[in-house]
Amino acid sequence: MSREILLLAEALASEKNVEPDVVFEAIETALGIAAKKKADREHMDLEVRINRDTGESRTVRRWLIVQDEDYTYPELEKTIEQIQEEIPGIEIAVGDYYEEDLPNEIFGRQAAQTAKQIILQRIRDAEREQILNSFLETRDDIVTGTVKRVERNGVIVELAPKLDALLPRSEMLPRENYRGGDRIRALFVRVEELKNERKQIILSRAAPEFLYRLFEQEVPEIGDGLLEIKEVARDPGHRAKIAVKSNDQRIDPQGTCIGVRGSRVNAVSNELGGERIDVVLWSGETAQFVINALSPANVSRIVINELDGGGESVDVIVAEDQLALAIGRSGQNVRLAAELTGKELNIMTVQEAEARHAAEDEKIRSLFMQHLDIDENTANLLVQEGFAALEEVAYVPVAELLEIDGLDEDTVNLLRNRARDAILTLAIAAEEKLDDLDEELKNLDGIDQDMLRDLADAGIATRDDLAELAIDELIEITGVSSEEAEQIIMAARAHWFAEEENA
């Protein structure tokens, strides 16, 4: 029998191209399971061990050595006191295993068949693991395979013999349909652990990086480092934008990526089911990059605004006849441009921009007239010179104010003093408003002092007042991002859900 085991292990290892140890471990596992079932000892900790040199096997029962207070499973555990009474002088510690040899079982036909199935399954798993590891060592980012079958959750792609991958539905392009035998190219994304301890390769055709890698294959200059794709934005299957930069002044990055008569960009587009691809010039200057990203629309003017929480938003002003082109179908063009540049883009016509600018000027003018006690002409002077807040009037250098025609030194000093008094008065009033706010609102997660002041100015005084706001209303009041606004409102509504559950 021992000779037969050695021959079996050697033959299986050679046939399946796995290490002999893998075969021995599979045989040991199978014999151990069969031994438990045959002797009705499934509650015991049994192991079968095979000598790799002689093929001799031995069956071992194990007990875990535990403290008396941890003793729970008599069939699996012995206390340190028990083992020392049974075998005086034994050297063993808590946490060790005590082993006892048992007679090897002689298996019948059914047990042998079960053992055979377990051995073959373990070897298949090991073979699959080895094939997967070889693939991971030599893989490219873009892989090519054959559609093996189409399932409910995606497409099973055969990358190599005995090596399959999953292209999930969520990672496919819209309207893509495959049949068995179709060739397919996709991006390698990751290896996912499944519940049965097997591993699954996950592919994608919708990821932005897939577009990047396709251009890398199609445009040798990218691989040579002469060109860079700086950013990619995709609406998979419909439209994409890539921002390119040249590291060699002699090379036109757009023309190189597009190719002669569009050959290169068309090759990538055809692979993506006709996805329209805009190749735009990358720029380190925000204004120029936004203008490029909104191509093919022509931009009249750009206004960059600093956001309170950091970052920038950009007002993009276009002519009336360019508005639809700038926004794109269902907002696609502006959405991709915003994703490409990483900026919040606000598209408006020249008329809308002028109306908005006039409204902002009127607001600032009224602020100055009310709190500085000045007439409209003086307020207009300050607005025209770019002053937009009381703090600017109060703390700007005197020399800068004196440069404004119509303001003398006495007037400047008067304006500065009034501005400082107004700032102090408004600060006291704001603190009094904060005192009137509900304590639950003040202590809500995600709320800071600046936000509380904004909420107080808007008449939001309680947690329920905040909970009733829509996300866009909170953004307009406080200027936070949509993600922050959603989190804050959900936190404000949490007590509603708790009350519903209790009810």
DSSP-derived secondary structure for 257-295: HH-GGGHHHHHHHHHTTS-EEEEEE--SSHHHHHHHHTT
- The answer to whether the beta carbons of residues 279 and 257 sit under 8 Å apart is yes
Of 36-40, 167-171, 430-434, the range with the highest mean pLDDT is: 167-171
pLDDT tens-digit series, residues 70-110: 888 888 888 888 888 888 888 888 888 888 877 776 655 55
In a domain? residue 360: no
Chain centroid offset of residue 88 CA: 61
Q: What angle do CA 421, 422, 428 make, to 5 degrees?
A: 95
- The answer to whether the beta carbons of residues 278 and 295 sit under 8 Å apart is yes
In a domain? residue 106: yes
In the block, tokens 């540049």 appear at: 341
Lowest-confidence range among 1-15, 154-168, 396-410, 469-483?
1-15
339 plus 227 within the same structural domain: yes
pLDDT value for 279? 94
In a domain? residue 242: yes
- The CATH code of the domain that includes 396 is 1.10.150.20
Q: Is the peptide bond before 208 cis (omega within 30 degrees of 0)?
A: no
86 plus 19 within the same structural domain: yes
Kindly calculate the radius of gyration of the chain based on its CA atoms and give it in whole angstroms. Answer: 37
399 plus 452 within the same structural domain: no
The Cα 94–Cα 81 span in angstroms is 10
6 plus 117 within the same structural domain: yes
Full residue range of the structural domain in which residue 166 is found = 139-204
Residue 308 binned pLDDT confidence (cut-offs 50, 70, 90) = low
pLDDT tens-digit series, residues 184-203: 999 999 988 877 667 889 99
The Cα 27–Cα 18 span in angstroms is 14
258 plus 163 within the same structural domain: no
296 plus 386 within the same structural domain: no
Say if residue 329's pLDDT is above 70: yes
The total domain count for the chain is 5
189 plus 294 within the same structural domain: no
Cβ density class 351-374: b for 16+ within 10 Å, e for less: ebbeeeeeeeeeebbebbbebbeb
Query: In sequence order, what are the residues at sequence separation of 6 or more whose Cβ sits closer than 8 angstroms to the Cβ of residue 64?
Result: 45, 76, 77, 78, 95, 96, 97
Give the amino acid at 395: Y
Lowest-confidence range among 13-27, 233-247, 286-300, 416-430?
13-27
Residue that finishes a domain, picked among 148, 176, 204:
204
Token pair listed for 372: 């500085």
2 plus 109 within the same structural domain: yes
The Cα 54–Cα 91 span in angstroms is 29
Of 245-259, 371-385, 477-491, the range with the highest mean pLDDT is: 245-259
Query: In sequence order, what are the residues at sequence separation of 6 or more whose Cβ sits closer than 8 angstroms to the Cβ of residue 331?
Result: none
- The CATH code of the domain that includes 238 is 3.30.300.20
Of 51-60, 135-144, 261-270, 300-309, the range with the highest mean pLDDT is: 261-270
Question: Which residues on adjacent β-strands are paired with residue 347?
Answer: 316
In a domain? residue 130: no
263 plus 343 within the same structural domain: yes
225 plus 151 within the same structural domain: no
483 plus 408 within the same structural domain: no
- The CATH code of the domain that includes 171 is 2.40.50.140
In a domain? residue 361: no
pLDDT tens-digit series, residues 210-246: 999 999 999 999 989 999 999 999 999 999 999 999 9
Residue that finishes a domain, picked among 121, 151, 182:
121
- The CATH code of the domain that includes 74 is 3.30.1480.10
pLDDT value for 187? 94
Say if residue 297's pLDDT is above 70: yes
How far apart are the two ends of the chain, measured CA to CA in Å?
A: 70
Of 199-213, 342-356, 364-378, the range with the highest mean pLDDT is: 199-213
In a domain? residue 328: yes
In a domain? residue 64: yes
Helix, strand or coil for residue 312? strand
In Å, the largest CA–CA distance within the chain is: 113
Residue that finishes a domain, picked among 86, 121, 156:
121
pLDDT value for 196? 65
In a domain? residue 363: no
Say if residue 359's pLDDT is above 70: yes
Computed from CA positions of residues 83, 85, 86, 92, in that sequence, does the dihedral angle turn out positive or negative? positive
231 plus 194 within the same structural domain: no
Query: In sequence order, what are the residues at sequence separation of 6 or more whose Cβ sits closer than 8 angstroms to the Cβ of residue 99?
Result: 60, 61, 62, 63
